[in-house]
Chains A and B, each alone.
Chain A
Amino acid sequence: DQQVKQNSPSLSVQEGRISILNCDYTNSMFDYFLWYKKYPAEGPTFLISISSIKDKNEDGRFTVFLNKSAKHLSLHIVPSQPGDSAVYFCAASGSGGGADGLTFGKGTHLIIQP
């Protein structure tokens, strides 16, 4: 039973446009959410996070939105650049303390087209 779902395996966006990656979760105990970016043959790289006490967090071109009532979060990248092409993983953390493992979605492969 997947607790974190990324329903789009892939997404193609034109360079300069906005990329929107979506993530849904089912466990209401999750209170911290992260986005990771992964290139082939590399480990995931942390991008941005959000606590459940917020509904938006922004860092440069990256903004994460959290809708707790809908159990939905999204990552916006604007403007999209060729180097953004990668697999993006949504991850969530529960209330087991700071050391609990992250629960990941299966990832969305973002392709930025020139």
Chain B
Amino acid sequence: AQSVTQLGSHVSVSEGALVLLRCNYSSSVPPYLFWYVQYPNQGLQLLLKYTSAATLVKGINGFEAEFKKSETSFHLTKPSAHMSDAAEYFCAVSDSNYQLIWGAGTKLIIKP
């Protein structure tokens, strides 16, 4: 069965610092991987997705993620954090039944 692990329920960075949110997956088939962001009291918005094309995927709001098969990872990064990036971030893998299997989420806290 596929699963997703997000390291760290909370990550705190200073404004302007590098953002790194970790996601590891387990999958017996080539995975399709997604990062979503959720702002308070809102639904989820797609940041980016990997669908077996380029391993470095660029998303919205300056985020990008790199698919590393050997490490079964799909970590999300942004070079310089902004206060508006404060939100909860979810990594997900799509299984063969079209379900999204979700990680537990990581709350990103931006310190001024």
A and B: partners?
no
